[in-house]
Amino acid sequence: MAGFLYMPNLTTVKPSAPNTGSLTYTIVVRCGADQQSQALSAFCFTKELLLQGHQVIRVFFYQQGVYLASGLKVMPQDETNLTTLWQQLSIDHDLELGVCIAAALQAGVVDQQEANRYELRGDNLAARFTLVGLGQLAAASAECDRLVSFGG
């Protein structure tokens, strides 16, 4: 499934209008930092949903999207650091950022618990991101009105 490009002004915060027809969404991010435009579209779309008064049940990072949850990447100065954007959005809107544990382990993205379990030297899961199973995606999909996937 291909993603689409959605790029409003990232720095402008406009007041959200009262939305009586608000919907619940689950967002699946399957594209990583190497697919900057699709990954940025996922962020901008999610931010706009929240500003419009919709509810996002969970953002689920899957496949290449798990790399966005790494706390050890350093972005070039001319590129947007999507990890910090997602972290701030999570703080601002109490948004759950779930990362597929199987894909994350395969990509070398681990939290402290998994680092201890596999006797690794350290963890690198960025703050505000949580390792979860595919069951969490299934549950969020069953609860939401709309599931939107980016990348693939």
Could you list the residue range(s) of the whole structural domain that residue 140 is in? 32-150
In a domain, residue 82? The reply is: yes
For residue 38, what is the domain's CATH number? 3.40.1260.10
Lowest mean pLDDT among 14-23, 66-75, 117-126, 129-138: 14-23
Name the pTM for this structure.
0.87
Number of domains in the chain: 1
| Residue 2 forms part of a structural domain | no
Task: Say if CB 57 and CB 93 are below 8 A apart.
Answer: no
Distances (CA, A) of 133 to 28, 83, 107: 13, 20, 15
In a domain, 5, yes or no: no
Residues 56-104 have pLDDT tens digits of 999 999 999 999 999 999 989 988 999 999 999 999 999 999 999 999 9
> What are the two backbone dihedrals, phi and then psi, of residue 124, each rounded to the nearest 5 degrees?
-145, 15
Answer yes or no: is 16 within a domain: no
Catalytic residue among 31, 44, 100, 144: 100
**Residue 44 is a catalytic residue:** no
In a domain, 6, yes or no: no
pLDDT digits 0-9 by tens, 21-64? 899 999 999 998 888 899 999 999 999 999 999 999 999 999 99
Quick check: is 22 in a domain? no
Using alpha carbons, select from 109, 94, 95, 89 the residue that is nearest to residue 32: 109
Query: Do the domain assignments include residue 114?
Result: yes
